[in-house]
Amino acid sequence: SGVPHTILRASILFGPQDNFTTGLAMLLTIAPGFLPLPGRGKTLLQPLWVEDMVTCLIWALDVPDTINQTFEVGGSEYFSLSQITELIMEVIQKRRALRAWPIPYLRALTVILETAFPHFPASVFWLDYLAVNRTCAVDTVQRIFGLMPARFATHIDYLRGVNWYREFLRSLFIRHA
């Protein structure tokens, strides 16, 4: 189309009121002693703090080398889904055993829950998203934008002190536009 553009594809974003970390916090709260994880929880993720993504978007407007380019961006660390879940459990002070579930069984359960509760924190979308690694070069944000991304473990304190059971119930029964 000839319109100058810059595309930033993020591995996975995290921050207050996201669907990823808050969804995991809700699932950990309602889980009956264990949390089923797709496969073995080995999918690699590279969480990027939402404020870092916004900074990259704004700075991309001022960096001529980014025009008409596409960049894969992510945080400065790789974590498995299991590791991320462990960190969230530590912050929200909920211990659950993490159990590997075959994806077909987890998909069937998720379809049932999603049908009964359209805003359930686990969805077929998330199962599909977590089916493959979501990573890029660990230095992309620093190399392209000169920004050192925030570390995941030190930026998830927003999950602390929240009544996740109440948030779970609210998410199930609230009307979304």
Q: Give the number of residues written for the chain.
A: 177
**Distance, CA of 37 to CA of 103 (rounded, Å):** 9
The CATH number corresponding to 6-101+133-164 among 2.30.110.10, 3.20.110.20, 3.50.50.60, 3.40.50.720 equals 3.40.50.720
For the stretch 79-115, pLDDT in tens is 999 999 999 999 999 999 999 999 899 999 999 999 9
How far does Cα 1 stand from its chain's mean position? Answer: 32
What pLDDT score was predicted for residue 172?
86
**Distance, CA of 118 to CA of 140 (rounded, Å):** 36
Averaged pLDDT for residues 26-37: 95
Q: Which residue has the tokens 């077909």?
A: 104
**DSSP secondary structure code for residue 138 in this structure:** T
Tokens of 148: 């050192």
Domain ranges of the chain: 6-101+133-164
User: 155 or 175: whose pLDDT is higher?
Assistant: 155
**DSSP secondary structure code for residue 68 in this structure:** T
Residue 47's nearest CA partner among 93, 84, 7, 6 is 84
**Distance, CA of 32 to CA of 20 (rounded, Å):** 20
Query: In degrees rounded to 5, what are phi and psi of residue 8?
Result: -115, 120
Whole-number Cα distances in Å, 169 to 34, 83, 118, 120, 121: 19, 26, 12, 9, 11
What pLDDT score was predicted for residue 173?
80
What pLDDT score was predicted for residue 29?
97
Q: What is the mean pLDDT of the chain?
A: 94
Task: For residue 129, give the 3-state DSSP assignment.
Answer: helix
**Distance, CA of 6 to CA of 70 (rounded, Å):** 6
Of the pLDDT bands very low, low, confident and very high (cuts 50, 70, 90), residue 175 is low
Of the pLDDT bands very low, low, confident and very high (cuts 50, 70, 90), residue 37 is very high
Tokens of 118: 């359209």
For the stretch 38-65, pLDDT in tens is 978 999 999 999 999 999 999 999 889 9
In the predicted structure, residue 177 carries a pLDDT above the cut 80? no
